[in-house]
A and B are shown apart, each in its own frame.
Chain A
Amino acid sequence: MKTDRIIAGTLVALCFASVITGFIFQKNSNPTNAKSNSFSWSDSSFGIKKADIAVIDISGPIMYSESNGFGSSGVNANDIIPMLEQIKKDKIKGIFLRINSPGGTASASQAIYEKIMFLKKNSNIKVVSFMEDIAASGAYYIASASDVIYANPSTLTGSIGVIMQIPNYTDLQNKIGYQTNTIKSGKFKDIGNSSRKMTDDERTLLQNLINDTYNEFAKAVSKGRKLSIEKVKQLGDGRIYTGNQANDNKLIDKLGSESDAINELARELKIDGEPKLKNYSKASWEKLFGGLSSKSVITGTVFDSPEFSASFNKIPLTLYK
């Protein structure tokens, strides 16, 4: 009986002690408290102190979709844009983008880029990006909105360009005797139909569409990186660069680690000591239960890819990949 009491008492005391300790330490870690600003745990949303830097993970294919569930992969513009709005509401003055993505759809990448540029202009928010394994195409589009881009020497980046791929199954269908009857209201209504060869008019139309989207991409990179449009187009022929090459070509600003990037942002924000980070991409209960829904059963598979989404919806897709 005595042991039971000791165990129960210890458990309760430990719970209270940990929370009170957290509360006190966090209060002490507030930089506004000049006497005691030495304590802080990296990447922690731990306490009363307001976060100095917001962290957003751009990880996986970028696209518009329903809100991502727990355990799902990819970057959903419908999640990222509200996160950016929340950061503005929380009056956080620095955003750290942790990027590891091969790219994604044109509109989703553009929307995130535009939102970041808007926040930089209207709310005076500083943005620093760090590229992990890969930050290509649409991911580079987003990164180019940053004030400073960091990457590892062997990070793969670049791939500035737009691609649309439409398969042609005509020969295969002829072999198996499969035919499609198309009834349409206009000559371009079945553009991208895989059951027939593409016409010259369709090719011209799609090429113009790709060129227009590419020009938008190039203009965005030119504006974000402060490079001439000619220079961006010269570098942006779709090739990929290592971090080293990107640094030589001014596609990124510095080679370094994630902590170098965070420290640079902290310096820009004039934060004394270690900055307090808050990750806005954190898993939440909504995500956990969202992940248990039937939608998320197929996440991370081919069904979740932008290509599948586009072909399923019969939409010609422009991709930054």
Chain B
Amino acid sequence: MNMLDNIYGVLFKPNTTFSELSNRKYFASSFLIIFLLALLTSVKDAIAYNSGGLSVLLLMIITFTFYMFVWVISGILLTFTSDLFGGSGKITDTLIGTAYASLPLIFVAPLYILSNVFGDHSNEIYSLIKLVIYLWFATLIILSIKYSHKIHVTQAILSFISIFVLFIVSAIGISTISVLGTIFIATNLL
């Protein structure tokens, strides 16, 4: 299968395609997908940004870097959470799966352009379609975890949700430590 077959498959026949993608042969193409997606998103953000000049270029670079960074970090975290639920895949499997699962996000940028062409009245429809795209994306992520880590769909959902739990727990932990630290310092100072 070449990259275009994979793209079609992920969008229209995700079960079969993710099963084939779990053969770990597609890291280069998955990197290319994320690269292009990050590029597309950064151009879209530049269009949305109401300014010009160097700041737009900076925004594009930040968006692009952030996109790539999130892909790698979420790949590591998903591998970790999937392992917790009995998964057997490696980080590269997760990265390939999440890259292909991100494919529906390519529709966000043209949708944004269209919403601007049609004016203010399309804003709510745009938001709703974007929500549908994100739900589609979430579904594909779960399928990718299921196949790349060879776990049941319920475990895949749990490992996906666990990422958010991890983020929340980390945020609470960091906040608690900083508050306790502040109290400790204040108490010692007094």
Contacts and interface: CB of A to CB of B under 8 A. Distances in A.
Interface of A: 1, 4-5, 7-9, 11-12, 14-16, 18-20, 22-23, 26, 30, 41-51, 55, 70-71, 90, 278-279, 281-285, 288
Given A8-B4, A45-B116, 16 more contacts: A4-B4, A8-B11, A11-B7, A11-B106, A14-B110, A22-B116, A23-B43, A44-B116, A46-B113, A46-B117, A47-B47, A48-B51, A49-B52, A70-B127, A90-B51, A284-B127
Contacts of B114: 18
B4 A23 contact: no
B40 A11 contact: no
Contacts of A46: 47, 113, 116-117
Nearest to A4: B8
A7 B8 CA distance: 7
B47 A15 contact: no
Contacts of A30: 52
A279 B4 contact: no
Contact of B56 (A48, A55, A279): A48
Contacts of B36: 12, 16
Contacts of A43: 119-120
Contacts of A278: 50
Contacts of A42: 119
B187 interface: no
A129 B49 CA distance: 26
Give the size category of B's interface with A: 35 or more
23 contacts: A1-B5, A4-B8, A7-B8, A8-B8, A15-B40, A15-B110, A19-B44, A20-B43, A22-B47, A23-B46, A26-B47, A44-B119, A45-B50, A45-B116, A48-B47, A48-B49, A48-B52, A49-B52, A51-B50, A71-B124, A283-B124, A283-B126, A285-B127
Contact of B116 (A41, A71, A90, A288): A41
Contacts, number: 98
A204 to B, nearest CB: 48
Contact of B110 (A19, A41, A55): A19
Most A CB contacts (10 A, CB to CB) among B43, B50, B110, B127 go to: B50
Contacts of A49: 52
Contacts of A16: 36, 40
Contacts of A12: 7, 36, 106
Nearest to A57: B120
A67 B113 CA distance: 27
A79 to B, nearest CB: 15
Contacts of B7: 8, 11-12
Contacts of A288: 127-128, 131
Contact of A5 (B5, B47, B50, B110): B5
Contacts of A15: 40, 106-107, 109-110
A71 B11 CA distance: 31
B113 to A, nearest CB: 4
A57 B126 CA distance: 19
A46 B51 CA distance: 11
B2 interface: yes
A19 B50 CA distance: 16
Contacts of B107: 15
Nearest to B125: A283
Contacts of B106: 11-12, 15
B129 to A, nearest CB: 12
Most B CB contacts (10 A, CB to CB) among A11, A42, A55 go to: A11
B52 A22 contact: no
B109 A19 contact: yes
Nearest to B123: A283
Nearest to A92: B50
A1 B50 CA distance: 43
A222 B65 CA distance: 54
A18 B107 CA distance: 10
A144 to B, nearest CB: 25
A149 B43 CA distance: 38
B40 A19 contact: yes
B113 A22 contact: yes
B169 interface: no
Contacts of A20: 43
A127 B2 CA distance: 57
